[in-house]
Amino acid sequence: MEENELDMIQKEILGYNNTMIPAYFPRVIIEQVDGKNIMVLWVTTGVQRPYKAPDHVTSKKDKKYYYYIRYATNSVRANAEQERELISMTNYAPFDTRPNFEAAESDISVALLTDHLNTTKSKLAKQIGKRGVMEVLGDMQLLVGPPEQQYIYQMQH
């Protein structure tokens, strides 16, 4: 993908994100792998969830909005009971979006982090020794908080 293609795709994504109620914006990460641009959309839960999406995303008029859920391997429109459950779940922050206030850099296994980055062919694997674990975790967007008080996101093993 060339730069103008990336811009065009990002504008199109922005347009679709603005159709959500409330608007939702995933994290967009662009990396070069083997000389090619790779765009990663990291779609985490948002603080304003749940979100309604239009029934027909590309429709220009008369959009009808609904809540959707994952059911087995499908995205389906939520029924009334599922909508109530979705709304009640907004009181709870999902595990992977909560900072772990007790985790420290020493809790991170450099070997496991390096292995993961090598397995995913990330260029960050070679940077851990030079830049440090916390800086690499920051590049991976796994830290939360201001630079002077950063916490590591909860992570599952």
- Specify the higher pLDDT residue, 25 or 95: 25
Whole-angstrom distance, CA of residue 24 vs CA of residue 67:
14
**Residue 30, φ and ψ in degrees, nearest 5:** -115, 125
94-121 as b/e, with b when 16 or more CB fall inside 10 Å?
eeeeebeeeeeeeebeeeebbeebeeee
Predicted confidence (pLDDT) at residue 55 exceeds the cutoff of 60: yes
CA distance 28 to 43: 9
Cis peptide before 22 (omega within 30 of 0): yes
Percent of the chain scoring above 70 in pLDDT: 96
The answer to whether the predicted template modeling score (pTM) of the entire model surpasses 0.75 is no
> What pLDDT sits at residue 77?
95
| H or E stretch covering 134 | helix 133-139
| Predicted local distance difference test score (pLDDT) of residue 95 | 67
Calculate mean pLDDT across residues 149-157: 75
Going by pLDDT thresholds of 50, 70 and 90, the confidence category of residue 136 is very high
Cβ(152)–Cβ(108) under 8 Å?
yes
Q: Span 44-62, mean pLDDT?
A: 83
**Tokens standing for 37?**
């641009």
Neighbours of 53 (CB within 10 A): 19
Domain residue spans in the chain?
Answer: 1-44, 48-92, 96-153
What pLDDT does 157 receive?
A: 44
